[in-house]
Amino acid sequence: MIENEMVEELFLVLEDKLEKTVNVLKDEYSAIRAGRANPHILDKLQVEAYGGMSPLNQLGNVSALDARCLMISPWDKTLLKAIEKAILQSNLGLNPSNDGNVIRLVFPELTEERRRELVKQTKKMGEDAKVAARNNRREAMEGIKKMKTNKELSEDEAAGCEADVEKTVSKYMEEIEKAISAKEKELMTV
């Protein structure tokens, strides 16, 4: 890579955006239920508490009892009904059981049909991440072309930068592919 502050800035921005794209995909994947009890499925769940909406993980402990059961222990027992209501409204397909102290969530076995639907959803999320990565590549390439047009880069330097952009984007595309296949494998494993 050449010594040029604008080029370095362009690559820092590109890497940052690509890193965020991969992280968002992995966060979305952690919320997809694969038949096993995963506390991360509740990370985005908002509960009406104390006159506002609060994330569930700020209202109590969420822990996995075993492979098929999560336990939610709210710090304030008066929030049990609100937490139960939020879970039922979340479309997670889980039925909370409230014993007055804790809420238990039992994860039912996924059917073959549901697994296939989740794999389709996983692939679509992966495609969206790839599109975002391609858009980032296009922005970087346009930045390089602009620098070349403004005579800030020579033809050879611009060609070298474009090759580096391709290499960087390819590395992140591989990471996206790995995340997709790992989630698919997790979903299809019974």
pLDDT digits (tens, 9 = 90+) for 43-83: 888 888 888 888 888 888 888 888 788 898 999 888 889 98
Are the C-beta atoms of residues 50 and 38 closer than 8 Å to each other?
no
Q: Above 60 in pLDDT, residue 14?
A: yes
Average pLDDT over residues 132-149: 93
Tell whether pTM > 0.75.
Answer: no
pLDDT for 13: 93
Task: Enumerate domains of the chain plus CATH numbers.
Answer: 5-31+111-188 (1.10.132.20), 39-106 (3.30.1360.40)
Q: How confident is the model at residue 1 (pLDDT cuts 50, 70, 90)?
A: low
Q: Above 70 in pLDDT, residue 35?
A: no
Average the pLDDT over each of 2-16, 35-49, 56-70, 170-184 and give the range with the smallest value. 35-49
pLDDT for 153: 86
SS (H, E, C) 36-69: CCCHHHHCCCEEEECCEEEEHHHCEEEEEEECCE
Residue whose entry in the numeric block shows the structure tokens 């940052």: 16
For the ranges 24-38, 43-57, 126-140, 145-159, the one whose mean pLDDT is highest: 126-140
Cα angle at 71 between 65 and 75, to 5 degrees?
135
Of 1 and 132, the structure prediction assigns the larger pLDDT to 132
Nearest one of 126, 128, 81, 77 to 118, comparing CA atoms: 126
Sequence-distant (≥ 6) Cβ neighbours of residue 173 within 8 angstroms: 130, 133
Are the C-beta atoms of residues 103 and 82 closer than 8 Å to each other?
no
Nearest one of 61, 120, 55 to 90, comparing CA atoms: 55
Kindly provide the b/e burial profile for residues 135-151, where b requires at least 16 CB atoms within 10 angstroms of the residue's own CB. ebbeebbebbeebbeee
Question: Residue 37 is encoded by which pair of tokens?
Answer: 């009890």
pLDDT digits (tens, 9 = 90+) for 108-137: 777 888 888 888 989 999 999 999 999 999
Q: Above 70 in pLDDT, residue 2?
A: no
By percentage, how much of the chain surpasses pLDDT 70?
96
Question: Residue 189 is encoded by which pair of tokens?
Answer: 């494993």
Question: Residue 70 is encoded by which pair of tokens?
Answer: 């999560």
How far, CA to CA in Å, does 81 sit from each of 51, 101, 148? 14, 11, 62
**Cα torsion through 83, 85, 91, 92, rounded to 10:** 40
pLDDT digits (tens, 9 = 90+) for 178-188: 999 999 988 88
Q: How confident is the model at residue 32 (pLDDT cuts 50, 70, 90)?
A: confident
